[in-house]
């Protein structure tokens, strides 16, 4: 695999099985340098498994993964020294005070930015004299994030950064993500099942379901190519028209809404032939697109 410097993480046909479960099924994606890349999927979709491959904690069973053009299993130090990571459970030493922990970590990271660490500590309202074991879950997440950001990594990797956290911590986390990317050339890859959050901060999105990528691309292009179209019939219908251009339908009786992925003329023609008129056409939310894509992937795999 040749490395393109504009791609920070690249997987090709990456596959991982745990016994009978296929956690990743031929996953191919590219995370562009400087992007905020949201990996979205429900619990068990394969997000953590993918992140573990980025960290070199799992070896590719089939296919490949490159991080900064390197194999993370073969070259863990060269890869990990450039990644700031925050997992679902931040693994911090309980017996230390926060200030001691920061001083201790600083010694390990040549690029540790003390002024930035202090700025984050103040904005996250973390007491340096507090013992790690006395921190709440939200405070621990803030410290974990501070540690991941303080040495200004090229790639910030966050696994479900806001799972179970209160909205204020979430806001802090998202604020920190945005600040991080505003610095030239830095990349954020984060997983989440909160689609509104992903939609708010990401510029690239990969939707993963049962180990497969059901959609991947720039958020602007995804938004521009997906519409929610509502149609109305004069008489109630038991089912929506078959247009061949809708990813999914919702509705009943006279009014039905479809998520449509760009084949508009075909959709309009089929709706009009079925005797319906278009009453609304608007951009679909990421949540609506995800639900329609996942349902569609399920239908396709059921047919196979």
**Could you tell me the smallest distance in angstroms from the CB atom of residue 79 to ligand ATP?**
20
Residues that bind ligand ATP (CB under 6 A): 18, 21, 23, 41, 43-49, 160
21 or 299: CB nearest ligand ATP: 21
Nearer to ligand ATP, 47 or 226 (CB): 47
Q: How far is the CB of 263 from ligand ATP (least distance, A)?
A: 30
Instruction: Provide the β-strand partners of residue 18.
Output: 21
Instruction: Kindly state the smallest distance separating residue 213's Cβ from ligand ATP, in Å.
Output: 12
Contact 259, 227 (CB under 8 A): yes
C-beta closer to ligand ATP: residue 18 or 104: 18
Q: Choose between 49 and 237: whose C-beta lies nearer to ligand ATP.
A: 49
Provide the token pair at 30.
Answer: 């590219």
Q: State how far the alpha carbon of 49 is from the alpha carbons of 11, 53, 291, in Å.
A: 13, 7, 22
Residue 45: CB minimum distance to ligand ATP, A: 4
Element (H, E) at 212: strand 212-218
Q: How far is CA 136 from CA 126, 130, 143, 166, in A?
A: 11, 11, 11, 11
Query: ∠ CA(25), CA(30), CA(34), 5° rounding?
Result: 145
Total residues found in the chain within this entry: 304
- Please, what's the b/e burial string for 248-267 (b: 16 or more CB within 10 A of its CB; e: otherwise)? bbeeeeebbbbbbbeeeeeb
**Continuous segment of H or E residues that includes residue 150:** helix 137-150
Nearer residue to ligand ATP within complex by CB, 43 or 182 = 43
Cβ closer to ligand ATP: 38 or 41?
A: 41
Which token pair is 136? Answer: 């709440």
What's the closest the beta carbon of residue 71 comes to ligand ATP, in angstroms? 20
In the complex, least distance from residue 23 CB atom to ligand ATP, rounded to whole angstroms: 3
Q: Which is nearer to ligand ATP, 7 or 48 (CB)?
A: 48
Q: What is the dihedral of CA 143, 146, 147, 152, to 10 degrees?
A: 180
Closest distance of CB 27 from ligand ATP, Å: 11
């Amino acid at each position: 695999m040749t490395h393109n410097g504009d791609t920070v993480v690249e997987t090709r046909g990456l596959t991982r099985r745990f016994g009978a479960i296929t956690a990743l099924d031929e996953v191919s994606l590219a995370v562009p340098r400087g992007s905020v890349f949201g990996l979205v999927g429900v619990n068990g979709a394969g997000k953590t498994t993918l992140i573990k491959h980025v960290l070199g904690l799992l070896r590719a069973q089939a296919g490949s993964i490159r991080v900064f053009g390197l194999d993370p299993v073969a070259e863990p130090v060269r890869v990990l020294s450039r990644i700031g990571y925050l997992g679902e459970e931040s693994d911090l030493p309980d017996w230390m005070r926060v200030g001691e922990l920061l001083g201790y970590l600083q010694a390990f990271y040549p690029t540790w930015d003390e002024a930035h660490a202090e700025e984050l500590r103040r904005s996250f309202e973390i007491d340096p004299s507090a013992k790690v074991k006395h921190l709440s879950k939200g405070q621990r997440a803030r410290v974990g994030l501070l540690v991941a950001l303080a040495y200004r990594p090229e790639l910030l990797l966050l696994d479900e950064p806001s799972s179970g956290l209160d909205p204020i911590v979430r806001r802090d986390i998202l604020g920190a993500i945005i600040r991080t990317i505003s610095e030239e050339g830095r990349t954020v890859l984060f997983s989440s099942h909160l689609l509104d959050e992903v939609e708010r901060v990401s510029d690239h999105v990969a939707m993963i379901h049962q180990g497969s990528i059901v959609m991947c691309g720039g958020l602007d292009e995804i938004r521009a190519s997906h519409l929610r179209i509502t149609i109305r019939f004069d008489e109630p219908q038991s089912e929506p028209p078959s247009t061949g251009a809708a990813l999914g339908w919702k509705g009943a009786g006279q009014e039905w809404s479809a998520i449509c992925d760009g084949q508009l003329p075909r959709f309009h023609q089929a709706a009009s032939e079925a005797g319906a008129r278009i009453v609304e056409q608007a951009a679909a939310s990421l949540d609506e697109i995800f639900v329609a894509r996942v349902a569609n992937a399920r239908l396709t795999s059921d047919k196979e």
